[in-house]
Structure 1
Amino acid sequence: MPKPAHPDCDALARIGTSVRERLGTDRTFDRLHVEGAELYQADAFLSDVDCRHLIALIDHVACPSRLVEEGGWEDYRTSFSGDIDPEDSVVKSIDSRLCDLTGIDPRHCESMQGQRYNQGEYYHEHWDWFDTKAPYWRRESRNGGQRSWTAMIYLNAVDEGGTTDFVHLDLQVAPARGSLLIWNNARPDGSPNPLTMHAARPVTSGVKYVVTKWFRARPWR
């Protein structure tokens, strides 16, 4: 008998095809040359002024970062983070741009989250997609389901360290002010892609600021 479809698999496959076609013809983006995963990068996606504005918003809301599953994962993520005001004019503009670029329905967007990594802080290896066998999946299934794409914008260059490492792809991305990194958390068939495991490596000098936007298979909240 065939295996049952993974939750949200069909929706993720449709979203993946649509976004792939849009980004593939958009000269804003360069597809990164890695096998088995879809990652795109756009330099200077945000202006210096917008980056400074978002950094101030992050400093206003940042609290110790949490995990979707806390038990037994102490010190796995040591950054500070928080959801940024969705009614802020700059945030609304960025949200609109990301939805226009990807073609993803705005109803499928999570609130933009800001993250700050002080010297020595990090986030160990993880996926952005959800483990559908974990206890938290029941909550996330009701809250928009599986994550489809991730959009991460670096708000500053880091003096040393702080790279985003895709550990199964031999890919390290260094923060650059205003640059956007976007990737598909699923395979083309819509199943979760284990090759998208990534880590925020420790900042060894300076401070790192990023904002992240996650998209869901279904309307969020």
Structure 2
Amino acid sequence: MTITHTTLPAPDKAALARQGRAVRKRLQADPRAYQVPTDKAEIFAFGDFLTASECRRLTGLIDDIATPSQLHEQAYVEGFRTSYSGNFDPHAPFIRGISRRIDDLLGVDDNMGEAIQGQRYLPGQQFKPHNDWFYTDQDYWEIERKRGGQRSWTAMAFLNEVEAGGTTDFTEVGISIEPKPGVLLVWNNALPDGMPNEDTMHAGTPVEAGVKYVITKWYRTRKWN
């Protein structure tokens, strides 16, 4: 049987729907927000969310903490995610300030957000099409359930221009987004009814030349541990 969002258990459905409504209302009322014109997913973009100096500082911090990226799903083929990544110290004043700005933008309590993760992609590195929400029929779900439940919203910021490649592609929506320093992307990983949205499938395409740096913060339905 093919596993889809309609066949997976959805224990956090009500919480995802509730948080989705609140964040959607806030973002749609924000004059700085650009909403991608599609009915398949709720995707917003904010230009100049980070300053040039903040982007430079974050890229340096990523270089300090980056290790080979990991995945929950052991069945993924080799090469599925080949970037380097690492979580920032959420208590560091600089990181805490940026994290709080993202929280305030979405209107989500900071204790529901994961630690901000930095990612670095060298030439040839990529993250093949995937969803950020968790498959609740997998063994890792029991761990994630206790750590804060299902992922609701994703916030991802580009930190530098890439010489070639390295776009973020929403494969089901049919859009390809070039890295632009300081731009923040925000998307809802669920449908309005709270079920996981398969159309949030996205990929970090291979970097062809240069290096790509991004930061990502994921939000949960409950307090993240």
Q: Work out whether the TM-score is over 0.5.
A: yes
Q: Deviations over 1:4-60 (max 9, x none)?
A: 972100000000000000001111211011122100001111001100111111000
CA distance in 2, matches of 1:52, 1:90: 13
Using the TM superposition, give the Cα deviation of residue 68 of structure 1 relative to its aligned residue in structure 2, in angstroms: 1.4
Report what 1:97 is aligned to.
101
Report what 1:66 is aligned to.
70
CA distance in 2, matches of 1:5, 1:213: 24
Q: Which amino acid aligns with 2:21?
A: T
SS in 2 for 1:68: coil
Q: Which amino acid aligns with 1:56?
A: G
Runs of 4+ in 1 over 3 A off after TM superposition: none
1:144 to 113, 135, 148: 148
Q: Which amino acid aligns with 2:104?
A: D
Q: TM-score, normalised by structure 2?
A: 0.95
CA distance in 1, matches of 2:184, 2:8: 35
1:192 to 196, 202, 224: 196
CA distance in 1, matches of 2:86, 2:70: 10
Is 2:112 the partner of 1:108? yes
Q: 1:50 touches 1:90 (CA, 8 Å); kept in 2?
A: no
Q: TM-score, normalised by structure 1?
A: 0.96
Q: Which amino acid aligns with 1:150?
A: T
Is 2:121 the partner of 1:117? yes
CA distance in 2, matches of 1:41, 1:23: 10
Report what 2:134 is aligned to.
130
Q: Which amino acid aligns with 1:87?
A: H
Report what 1:211 is aligned to.
215
Report what 1:86 is aligned to.
90
Q: Is there any run of 5+ residues in structure 1 with no aligned partner, and where?
A: none
Q: Is there any run of 5+ residues in structure 2 with no aligned partner, and where?
A: 1-6
Report what 2:42 is aligned to.
38
CA distance in 2, matches of 1:53, 1:28: 24
SS in 1 for 2:215: strand
Number of residue-to-residue matches in the alignment? 219
CA distance in 1, matches of 2:77, 2:125: 15
Report what 2:3 is aligned to.
none
